[in-house]
Structure 1
Amino acid sequence: MHPGPEKVLETYSVLETSWILNGKGEEGDKKFILSPYKKIMAKRPNVVMIVADQWRFDSVGYSGNTAVKTPNIDFLSEEGVSFSNAYCQNPVCVPSRSSFLTGWYPHTNGFRTMHHLMDDDQPNILKTLKQSGYHVYWGGRNDFLKISADSSKYFSTRDDQYAEFFARYTKQKSKKNDGDLKKTEYEYSHYKGIREDINNIDAKQIRNAMEFLEEGKYGEEPFCIYLALSLPHPPYEIEKGWFDLIDKEEIPDPVRLTEEEWERKPSIIRGIHDNQKLYNWSDEELKQMKHVYYAMGTKLDYHIGELVNVLKEKELYDDTIFVFFSDHGDYTGDYELAEKNQNTFEDLLTRVPLVIKPARSTELKPRKTDALVELIDVQATIHDLLNIQPQHTQFGKSLKNVLAGSDKHRDVVFSEGGRLEGETHCMDAGHSPANEYWARTTEQEKMPQHTKAMMIRDEKYKFVYRLYEEDEFYDMRADPLEKNNQIQNPEFQQLIVKYKERMLRHFFETGDVVPFKQDKRF
């Protein structure tokens, strides 16, 4: 049952003076830690992988944002390594998840739309772990596998309350037809504010996973718990108890652009901006949206803490690899925009939280690192930590050396989206103006708006190649909010050529995969 506001406030008031889950009674600096084990554990480490939906990097506590309250994620970041420069490979759900679960880039095998999911004969870390003797518990949404696929290849235990939840949600929405609303009433902010009638499906999914642990349903097998959750995905709505935990005075002002700055931005977000009309909102109204969004994250953080407590109570925590990250970010009122977009790559959309707390058998230097990381590196890291060799080509790079203390990993990171002229099957379009997503998806019906595009980013600069319209270039140190597109600045032209060449090399290296399994005639 969902805790009432009084219980929530009581729990988090304790966190003002001590960390939940710490168990050490101190917050001293952590030193370089070597494994206490001299020989390999008889039982392989367990894995817990929690994927939040649409949680941007600057909305977790370890990012330094003093307005947010995520003590449990922050605790895990102190116990392991937290990443300040982790990037998704596509800024919307299905392509991002298909990418980080396979180790493929979205372009590698065509998983770059919301409507094209994986077949059951294609590789995936959940399938690999099950084949390697792990009891795979899959809780939450399915945003990567076709409905026609044999999903049993991917799990030993499945908790799919989302199927029933979304069926109910779709049925409720279908009762509204276009005639129910006058055009002047169409509203695309996704903002609902403080509500008390919210379906707490994430809490249910996490508590079912807790029950799985408490009852030892994994038996003698090592387990992998994969939880694909929904918070803090819009609609922006939260109960008052969670809302009151956020200090509104600390919430940053919304990012707004001048008319001149908007002229150099991609046509698709100019169109979404015009359709959503959040430019009519005051700073305080946009900050209220962010306030609700932060509180949604606090709510999920609380339930993550419940799961970690069970791992500790069952004496499983130390021997469990715990990974938390998000599939992509969210505009949350910045640039006077709501939710996300599929072929633009602001850090608000592509930079995500990532925390890895390894098992105690792993060499570890706990800290926050600025190493450049891609989400496809997560599956490569888990494989490496478990000494599992996947039987398919994958492009992730293990973070094992980063966990041990190195801050060097990748020289650049990539993200991509959009479509070619004529690829109408790659649109999310077809919504009527009465649909909440129309403001975004109607722009995908147009060119150059929905042009295929790719981002390359290093520590200093970001370049975006846009196939059918003007490219983008940002000096990320001088302009971290990406307001001023410098693509025409003569000062950066040699750098832009370098990034184009690096992008070409990237396509050569990752453009396809050859199956390991040969034809029987050979």
Structure 2
Amino acid sequence: MKKPNIVLVVADQWRADSIGYTGNTATVTPNIDELVEEGVAFSNAYCQLPVCVPSRSSFLSGWYPHTKGFRTMHHLMGDEDPNLLRTLKENGYHVYWGGRNDVLRLDADVDKYCDTRNDKYLEMFSKMRELKEKQTTIPVTEENKEHDYSHYRGIIDNPNNPDKLQIDNAIEFLNNKVYGDDPFCVYLALALPHPPYQVGEEFYNQINKGRIPAPTRLTEEEWEAKPSILRGIRENQKLYNWSDEQLKEMKHVYYAMGTELDHYIGGLVDKLKEKNLYEDTLFIFFSDHGDYTGDYEIAEKNQNTFEDCLTNVPLVIKPAKGMEVKPRVTDAMVELIDIQATLLDLLEITPNYTHFGKSLKDVIKGEDKHRDVVFAEGGRLEHEEHCMDAGHSPANEYWARTIEQTKMPHHAKAMMIRNEKYKYVYRLSEQDEFYVLDEDPMERKNQINNAQFSSIIAQFKERMLKHFFETADVVPHRHDKRF
């Protein structure tokens, strides 16, 4: 039998609580929510490192960031590394790759990973960056005059988002049927809702302003127990000068950016249905990581902090016809590296490399238990200056975050372990973190020094040691010849 077609849509920086199926009633995501009616949505899906390149390298390789050092923005994958797209191509799939790279090194042979590559996106993305640099920031008032954060743009005219161009080209690929009789994989690495926070009025007006939650703000006592890099970013961005209404306005625009992406995804789904391809297509939507969006008086992301707004991401799997499925939203604990394992299992592909994902096939069928814990990590050692995403001037929109990566212990290595109730963060060079999530879902109160939880913390440390022991390296699936 012909294998099912595959569509993988990867959003950039979309937090899980900003989508309809997780219960957010302010945002509007009808097309993604419709996929949930036919598939399985995950409320407890977690990325393995909360910035773009390491997260994508992880879910495409099936390796944790520490397995081979894929934990920075500057260390990419090569032809010697496993990659889901190459595995699919080697197993008979015509692979269309559209959108961002954020994965492969310049010396990688792109033809090994895809049959069709859309470079118009790159040209459009460059033009969009030029336009974004000309946009004005939020109006300066007496209340916020001291802020120097420039990534908020608000409502703009004719945004010409490159994601629309990318979806249109993917639709053109489906119309042209260049894949012939081969099953196809459409891999779309899109840009929304990545900052700058800007959107057209059409999508802005769809958001229910009255239902946008107030931003999470910490007391000074609570801030003292947070890691130094988070305190540094907050000080640099100066969003503490913004009122609750202004921070809610940032979230309003961010939600609308998600609505915009949902609209484009709807166009792709409509084309699959028009071409009678939808039922035979395994459709997977997820995000590489989340976004602070004004919570904790911070915007964007960070490389070695692990609040749920950064690590908890949307994930929806709509199986193809003939695959057993129990449609629902499940609270099973899953990791993004499980996506690759699931595809390989469903397609009955045996990879020629070791990976650490765990297939979600049984969860798709109806099981609601998967992993006992999930992990995320980031940071560097003190001498690893090559691991910094630094060098921006204070005028650059990323300076507020990347300047903190030049400091220690700010950018020191850290790892999160989390289950349904607790979250523990081991920090190499400063105080650890521990949160009781059912009582404190916004992770305001670090209880690392509360003796009541010492036995649970010890269990998490032991579990983390086991995790490192199991995933610290991989042995190639070959026997090398001696000379």
**Structure 1 length as normaliser, TM-score?**
0.89
- The equivalent residue for 2:58 is 99
- The equivalent residue for 1:504 is 465
- The equivalent residue for 1:115 is 74
- The equivalent residue for 2:94 is 135
CA separation of 1:166/1:205 partners in 2, compared to 1, >3 Å: closer, same or farther? closer
CA separation of 1:490/1:322 partners in 2, compared to 1, >3 Å: closer, same or farther? same
CA distance in 1, matches of 2:403, 2:361: 43
- Aligned residue among 275, 289, 302 for 1:341: 302
Q: Which amino acid aligns with 1:389?
A: T
Q: Is the 8 A contact 1:141 1:160 kept in 2?
A: no
Q: Which amino acid aligns with 1:236?
A: Y
Q: Is the 8 A contact 1:103 1:380 kept in 2?
A: yes
Is 1:75 the counterpart of 2:38? The answer is: no
Q: Per the alignment, in what secondary structure is the counterpart of residue 192 of structure 2?
A: coil
Q: Which runs of 4+ in 1 moved over 6 A?
A: 170-175
Compute the displacement of 1:353 (Å): 0.2
Compute the displacement of 1:174 (Å): 9.8
- Aligned residue among 420, 437, 442 for 2:398: 437
Is 1:327 the counterpart of 2:288? The answer is: yes
Query: For this pair of structures, how many residues does the alignment match?
Result: 474
CA distance in 1, matches of 2:454, 2:147: 44
Q: Is the 8 A contact 1:186 1:434 kept in 2?
A: no
CA distance in 1, matches of 2:186, 2:205: 31
Q: Which amino acid aligns with 1:209?
A: A
Q: Is the 8 A contact 1:136 1:156 kept in 2?
A: yes
- The equivalent residue for 1:376 is 337
What do the CA deviations read for 1:126-147 (whole angstroms, capped 9, x no partner)?
Answer: 0000010100000000011012
What do the CA deviations read for 1:434-469 (whole angstroms, capped 9, x no partner)?
Answer: 111110000000000001000000011000000000
What do the CA deviations read for 1:7-44 (whole angstroms, capped 9, x no partner)?
Answer: xxxxxxxxxxxxxxxxxxxxxxxxxxxxxxxxxxx211
The CA RMSD over aligned residues, in Å, is 1.6
Q: Per the alignment, in what secondary structure is the counterpart of residue 226 of structure 1?
A: strand
CA distance in 1, matches of 2:324, 2:41: 15
- Aligned residue among 230, 242, 249 for 2:203: 242
Instruction: Spell out the pairing of 1:143-158 with structure 2 (5 A cutoff).
Output: 143-158=102-117
Q: Is the 8 A contact 2:56 2:288 kept in 1?
A: yes
- The equivalent residue for 2:311 is 350
Q: Is the 8 A contact 1:186 1:433 kept in 2?
A: no
Compute the displacement of 1:520 (Å): 3.4
Q: Is the 8 A contact 1:231 1:297 kept in 2?
A: yes
CA distance in 2, matches of 1:430, 1:186: 21
CA distance in 2, matches of 1:187, 1:136: 43
- Aligned residue among 362, 366, 369 for 1:401: 362
Instruction: Spell out the pairing of 1:462-501 with structure 2 (5 A cutoff).
Output: 462-501=423-462
Compute the displacement of 1:210 (Å): 0.9
What do the CA deviations read for 1:38-92 (whole angstroms, capped 9, x no partner)?
Answer: xxxx211010000000000011100101001000000001110000000000000
What do the CA deviations read for 1:381-413 (whole angstroms, capped 9, x no partner)?
Answer: 011111111110000000000000100100000
CA distance in 2, matches of 1:191, 1:489: 39
- The equivalent residue for 1:271 is 232
Is 1:416 the counterpart of 2:377? The answer is: yes
What do the CA deviations read for 1:220-267 (whole angstroms, capped 9, x no partner)?
Answer: 100000000000000000011110000100101111101111010000
Q: Is the 8 A contact 1:323 1:354 kept in 2?
A: yes
Compute the displacement of 1:167 (Å): 4.1
Q: Which amino acid aligns with 2:35?
A: L
Compute the displacement of 1:479 (Å): 0.3
Q: Is the 8 A contact 2:98 2:188 kept in 1?
A: yes
Q: Which amino acid aligns with 1:422?
A: H
Compute the displacement of 1:518 (Å): 2.1
- Aligned residue among 253, 267, 284 for 1:306: 267
CA distance in 1, matches of 2:149, 2:225: 24
- The equivalent residue for 1:5 is none
Q: Per the alignment, in what secondary structure is the counterpart of residue 465 of structure 1?
A: strand
Q: Which amino acid aligns with 1:187?
A: D
CA distance in 2, matches of 1:173, 1:413: 36
Long gaps (5+) in structure 1: 1-41, 176-183
Q: Per the alignment, in what secondary structure is the counterpart of residue 349 of structure 1?
A: helix
Compute the displacement of 1:161 (Å): 2.6
Q: What is the percentage of aligned positions where both structures have the same residue?
A: 69
What do the CA deviations read for 1:110-162 (whole angstroms, capped 9, x no partner)?
Answer: 10000110112211000000010100000000011012211111000001233
CA distance in 1, matches of 2:208, 2:127: 35
CA distance in 2, matches of 1:399, 1:76: 17
CA distance in 2, matches of 1:403, 1:283: 40
Compute the displacement of 1:476 (Å): 0.5
Q: Per the alignment, in what secondary structure is the counterpart of residue 108 of structure 1?
A: helix
- The equivalent residue for 1:205 is 166
Compute the displacement of 1:169 (Å): 5.7
Q: Is the 8 A contact 2:16 2:309 kept in 1?
A: yes
Q: Is the 8 A contact 2:376 2:417 kept in 1?
A: yes
Compute the displacement of 1:186 (Å): 7.5
Compute the displacement of 1:521 (Å): 4.2
Q: Is the 8 A contact 2:147 2:241 kept in 1?
A: no
Instruction: Spell out the pairing of 1:292-303 with structure 2 (5 A cutoff).
Output: 292-303=253-264
In terms of mean alpha carbon deviation, does 310-319 or 338-347 score higher? 310-319
In terms of mean alpha carbon deviation, does 208-217 or 303-312 score higher? 208-217
Q: Is the 8 A contact 2:121 2:165 kept in 1?
A: no
Q: Which amino acid aligns with 1:61?
A: G
CA separation of 1:487/1:185 partners in 2, compared to 1, >3 Å: closer, same or farther? closer
Instruction: Spell out the pairing of 1:212-291 with structure 2 (5 A cutoff).
Output: 212-291=173-252
